Structure 1
Amino acid sequence: MKRTTLSLIAGTAALAAVTGFATMNAPADTGADTARAAAQLPVERTSLLCPAPSNSDLAETDYTSFTPVTKGTGSDGKAELTAADGQSPDDAEGGEAKSDSEKGSRSDAKSADTPSLKPKEPGTPVADDTSGAETPALAGIATGRFAPGWTVQQTTQVAAGAGRGLLGTACGLPDTEFWFPGASTAASRTDYVHLTNPDDSAAVVDVELYGKDGALKTTVGDGITVKPHASEPLLLSTLTEADEKDLTVHVNVRSGRVAATVQALDDELGGDWLPATTDPATRLVLPGIPTDATDVRLVAFAPGDSDADLKVRLASPSGLITPAGHETVHVKAGTTTAVDLGDLTRGEAGSLVLTPSEGSVPVVAAVRVLRGKSGKQETAFIPATAPVDTRATAAGNGAKGTVLSLAAPGSSAKVRVTASAGSEGGTAATKEYSIKGGATENVTVPVPGGLKGTYALTVEHLSGGAVYASRTLERTYEGVPAFTVQTLPDDRGTVAVPEADQDLSVLQK
């Protein structure tokens, strides 16, 4: 089942308890069609899961929690994150009796390693930080007015060692299927797939790996059990003996649900989180390749039984162009294909657009991006993502080093960007932008007045064609251009709820 479908079912079910879907008064028989258009109502519950940020003692991790203001919500609700340590939130609050020593031990651990993120109002972010290798994976639930569009940004700085640099991710939604083109079991890479279970029952997961010649034989990839309210990081090199530079990881959940993401760490090239791509599709957009990218590597996978032939184009500030020498890519069915595109953007904003050149075969894809020169390079990943249908948000922005990239690969479009108040003070700011059809623009983002702390950027689609977005955070450590890129798919903060009247005549049939 697709992610969007699951989210809509969950959102609709949550709203059903509140709205009832039907009035209790039988309508007058006017002879007219009483069907009404579906109403867009705010979701009332959102779950997010954050992977354990690092196993390095040098790690410094910042967290930011934010919910944009949404019309139609009530006055109650909350958003809270707790450690995904195998204990349910109810037990953590005192469900099962524990000795004083156990309580004291748990309390000390939580205060030292788990961030405290409890927002007071939508529209204002809250931030906290942790350090070292002991920060756990987190599981969070937002309800009521904090649920629509809730996002949590996790950004980690690692000063040295494998994966040194800046690693960032938006905490993910639980689901039943994930695709990760761009992973690796090469000797220079240490890649983990993190599986986090938010529910009260165990989840059973299969992890499949696909290389250049097809499916790889795995040792323990099938039937992996993830305990309730727990997180399991799996080192990919322990699942197979194959040394593969480019892999596609497929996470398929047999029972239950999990959140999944891949942490890719390189001995020389830094590292970052590799989020899941969109579901397999015939048209893919990978937005926001940095202007100073020194190397762009496209990794694609065709999960079906048919080969895929893809047309490769770059949405630049002036429109769609075809990279010389890389006009098309052939992806053999069931195999992972990688293509080096070099310094694709050449100093300009750019987004990769993949469309079928022949046939119509669904694929998944991501790019690995390098910045910097030899010896001082850093890595980030950009997966194919969904458009901003209504609204999307990126939290954890600072006064400097934030780049917002907007792409309209089809028709021209108009968007509104709002910079929230700061986590420690400041007033929100808003600006509107028009994006030319076929183009990508790195826009000058609004900054909150009197900013203190971090802030969130919310993108709203106002009119025109589809808009794809990403946010890049940039910092420099000892000459290394550290960076991380997060795509901005729609936050699905509202759900369509059809209005209906009770028809008692059905009881007479």
Structure 2
Amino acid sequence: MPKDNTTHSSEAARQPDGTQTGGEAPGKKKPGKKAPGKKALGTKRQRHGIVTGLLSAGVLLAGGAGVVSAAAVLPGPAGSRTLEAALSDVPAGRSTMVCPGPAVLPEGTVGTDAQFSPVSRTAKNNLDALVLSDSTGALPGSKVAALDGSGARTVSEAPKGTPAPAPGPPALKAAAVAQSAGRITVLNAEPSGNQQAAMAAVGSYSAADGDLRGLAAAPCQQPSNDFWLLGADTTLGRTALLNLSNASGTPATVNLELLGAKGRIQSPGSRGLLVSPHTSRTINLAGLASDEENLSLHVRSSGGPVAATVQQSVLRGLVSGGVEHLAPGAAPADSQVMTAVVVQDPKTIKALSSKSGFSDAVPALEITVPGAADAVLDVKLFGPNGQQALPGGGAVTAKAGAVTEIPLTGVPAGTYTVSATSDVPFAAAARLLGNPRESAPMDFAWSPAAVRLGSQHIVAVPQDGVRFLTFGVPDGRATVSYTPVTADGKLGKTESVDIAGGTTTVIGVPAKDKGPAVIGYVVAASGDPAYGAVLLGEKDGPGISTVAIQQGAPGHEKVAVTLGY
């Protein structure tokens, strides 16, 4: 794992190095006048047409000024009045996050040899959840439960009254829960003081044996009706299972748009997928798009919003190649940033990727362009000491309506931030590796495009393994502050780091044996755009994974309302 770049005490760890026409009303005959003859009538009509045409042109040219003058001179209709726009409160509602379920083998997987059994005897699935109080110190009512509502466990009790704001700085506190999670779990929290609850949770999986050996983690998601998932692979030895979860009381109908290296993939089974309320549905993506090395999914639902992850695993013969939960990243845009991107020794990667079955054993950037125009990309890598040039240069063209993979090889080993900009919107994610060895189990992870850090983000971290906070600033300069939250609900001392543009900073999370276990952080940033993620590893294994820092809670929202009568 990357080295801690800060001066405070942290755990030492191994580096896993998209003509108004001038029409006119016909003239009316004046009463009492004799109708003209045909010839005279034709002449008058001709003159009338010329004069009227000129008048019409004059009306068109002066129309705008005429309207303004009338509005300025003429009074409004009696009884009509326009009021100034007022800001109205938007009632805060319940916050919901859906956590990934345990990693599972695909249906039909069997094994008889105990030494090479596909089923793990050491697998662990955990949930770590964190809820933050408001400025008065009042915690929202919150609980965790299974997707169907069973097995509910209280995280924090709702306040019995409305406490008055305390003088002085905000008295923040937290409630936390860490538990084993044998199924898909939901974290719910009620609003506090007409504000959405500030909370975060992460689901993690680890195993030291079996076909799904490795480390996989993903943040619990707020359900949505539109998002992207990148990094799936359905080639030989790779398994991609899409898990769709509906935590709402409304049925959800999901449509999948599939994009591969050669363009959009038409699959009859990708549309009209019904997910009933409080249930989940698992789909083997090989049945929708087989033999696709680079597969991206655009997930859209009507009715209830859904949460989704792709359980991606690799098996090379009888040797596990790792497992990961692919989670949604930032929506398509003309600029994307990914951090916590670990690059291994370039010589090791070059030798390994040349072998059969190891073509995906390289760090890489995956670009998906949903629009009709190609994306001309400028890709940059930023490490702790500044920018590292890619051997092939940073200028790349990504095909429209397809997925393009860009290797991140030939640079010194380390932990990087990847920045990509283009003239058209695109989605992006970066692949990283743990323990790249041909004859030994290895692991991989995907870092999805991150959101820009703001004034308050709640970050949950798994309790096991080696853990790091990583922050990247592509341009300018930013200050990032981070406050640890321990398992007993207390907030520790806030520390901050000044990050120069074009660099990446790695901060170690203290180990359990150095005081109360750190279960999360409150992160804030100021200055130029900064991005962050949690990087996870194993002390004595190849496991590696990332957890993106998600968008902060919306807080107290207001909308402008204009009234008229």
Q: TM-score scaled to structure 1, two decimals?
A: 0.78
Amino acid at match of 1:468: Y
Give the counterpart of 1:451 among 506, 515, 520. Answer: 515
Paired residues of 1:399 and 1:454 also in contact (CA < 8 A): no
Deviates more, 1:447-456 or 1:195-204: 447-456
Classify 1:244/1:449 alpha carbon distance in 2 versus 1 (closer, same or farther; 3 Å).
closer
Give the counterpart of 1:126 among 177, 182, 191. Answer: 177
Match of 1:11 in 2: none
Match of 1:255 in 2: 303
Amino acid at match of 2:467: T
Q: What secondary structure does 1:290 align onto?
A: strand
Match of 1:369 in 2: 432
Match of 2:261 in 1: 212
Q: Does 1:84 align with 2:147?
A: yes
Q: Does 1:353 align with 2:419?
A: yes
Aligned length: 432
Distance in 1 (alpha carbons) for counterparts of 2:399 and 2:516: 51
Match of 2:197 in 1: 148
Deviation at 1:327, TM superposition (A): 1.8
Match of 1:138 in 2: 185
Alignment of 1:284-433 (within 5 A): 284-290=336-342, 292=344, 295-342=362-409, 344=411, 346-356=412-422, 360-374=423-437, 375-398=440-463, 401-421=466-486, 423-424=487-488, 428-433=492-497
Match of 1:277 in 2: 329
Alignment of 1:442-481 (within 5 A): 442-445=506-509, 451-461=515-525, 463-477=526-540, 480-481=541-542
Match of 2:130 in 1: 66
Amino acid at match of 1:309: V
Distance in 1 (alpha carbons) for counterparts of 2:327 and 2:296: 12
Q: What secondary structure does 2:227 align onto?
A: strand
Amino acid at match of 1:384: A
Deviates more, 1:439-448 or 1:267-276: 439-448
Distance in 2 (alpha carbons) for counterparts of 1:390 and 1:210: 35
Paired residues of 1:411 and 1:465 also in contact (CA < 8 A): yes
Classify 1:69/1:425 alpha carbon distance in 2 versus 1 (closer, same or farther; 3 Å).
closer
Q: Does 1:496 align with 2:557?
A: yes
Amino acid at match of 2:336: L
Match of 2:54 in 1: none
Paired residues of 1:79 and 1:143 also in contact (CA < 8 A): yes
Distance in 1 (alpha carbons) for counterparts of 2:536 and 2:157: 26
Paired residues of 1:117 and 1:127 also in contact (CA < 8 A): no
> What is the aligned-residue RMSD (CA, Å)?
2.9
**Identity score, percent:** 24
Deviations 1:392-441, CA, capped at 9 Å, x for gaps: 232234486111111111220112110112x2587623211111112111
Classify 1:447/1:51 alpha carbon distance in 2 versus 1 (closer, same or farther; 3 Å).
closer
Distance in 1 (alpha carbons) for counterparts of 2:410 and 2:124: 31
Q: Does 1:246 align with 2:294?
A: yes
Classify 1:296/1:42 alpha carbon distance in 2 versus 1 (closer, same or farther; 3 Å).
farther
Deviations 1:189-221, CA, capped at 9 Å, x for gaps: 111111111111210001222111112232411
Deviation at 1:175, TM superposition (A): 0.5
Match of 1:19 in 2: none
Paired residues of 2:120 and 2:210 also in contact (CA < 8 A): no
Q: Does 1:194 align with 2:246?
A: no
Paired residues of 1:66 and 1:119 also in contact (CA < 8 A): no
Amino acid at match of 2:291: D
Match of 2:28 in 1: none
Deviation at 1:333, TM superposition (A): 0.8
Amino acid at match of 2:507: V
Deviations 1:247-290, CA, capped at 9 Å, x for gaps: 11111113321111211111132011111121111111011112
Distance in 2 (alpha carbons) for counterparts of 1:220 and 1:499: 43
Distance in 2 (alpha carbons) for counterparts of 1:333 and 1:427: 47
Deviations 1:333-383, CA, capped at 9 Å, x for gaps: 111111222264x23331100012xxx111111111112131232111001
Amino acid at match of 1:227: S
Deviation at 1:451, TM superposition (A): 2.5
Distance in 2 (alpha carbons) for counterparts of 1:376 and 1:42: 51
Amino acid at match of 2:534: R
Q: What secondary structure does 1:260 align onto?
A: strand
Paired residues of 1:425 and 1:450 also in contact (CA < 8 A): no
Paired residues of 1:425 and 1:453 also in contact (CA < 8 A): no
Classify 1:413/1:76 alpha carbon distance in 2 versus 1 (closer, same or farther; 3 Å).
closer
Paired residues of 1:320 and 1:409 also in contact (CA < 8 A): no
Match of 1:20 in 2: none
Distance in 2 (alpha carbons) for counterparts of 1:174 and 1:206: 15
Give the counterpart of 1:167 among 198, 205, 216. Answer: 216
Q: What secondary structure does 1:458 align onto?
A: strand
Structure 2: stretches of 5+ with no match in the other structure: 1-17, 19-82, 105-118, 159-172, 350-361
Deviations 1:122-171, CA, capped at 9 Å, x for gaps: 524221114xxxx2212331113495321111111122233311111111
Match of 1:434 in 2: 498
Q: What secondary structure does 1:385 align onto?
A: coil
Paired residues of 1:156 and 1:167 also in contact (CA < 8 A): yes
Distance in 2 (alpha carbons) for counterparts of 1:455 and 1:482: 20
Classify 1:82/1:425 alpha carbon distance in 2 versus 1 (closer, same or farther; 3 Å).
closer
Amino acid at match of 1:361: V
Alignment of 1:15-54 (within 5 A): 44-54=93-103
Distance in 1 (alpha carbons) for counterparts of 2:404 and 2:560: 48
Paired residues of 1:429 and 1:448 also in contact (CA < 8 A): no
Distance in 2 (alpha carbons) for counterparts of 1:418 and 1:399: 20
Amino acid at match of 1:338: E
Deviation at 1:80, TM superposition (A): 1.4
Distance in 1 (alpha carbons) for counterparts of 2:286 and 2:379: 31
Structure 1: stretches of 5+ with no match in the other structure: 3-32, 93-109
Deviations 1:49-82, CA, capped at 9 Å, x for gaps: 1122222554211211102343267x46321122
Distance in 2 (alpha carbons) for counterparts of 1:42 and 1:324: 53
Paired residues of 1:429 and 1:446 also in contact (CA < 8 A): no
Distance in 2 (alpha carbons) for counterparts of 1:390 and 1:447: 27
Distance in 2 (alpha carbons) for counterparts of 1:276 and 1:225: 20
Q: What secondary structure does 1:288 align onto?
A: strand
Paired residues of 1:119 and 1:126 also in contact (CA < 8 A): no
Deviation at 1:47, TM superposition (A): 0.8
Distance in 1 (alpha carbons) for counterparts of 2:301 and 2:84: 41
Amino acid at match of 2:237: S
Paired residues of 1:191 and 1:264 also in contact (CA < 8 A): yes
Distance in 2 (alpha carbons) for counterparts of 1:177 and 1:319: 35
Distance in 2 (alpha carbons) for counterparts of 1:441 and 1:224: 42
Amino acid at match of 1:362: P
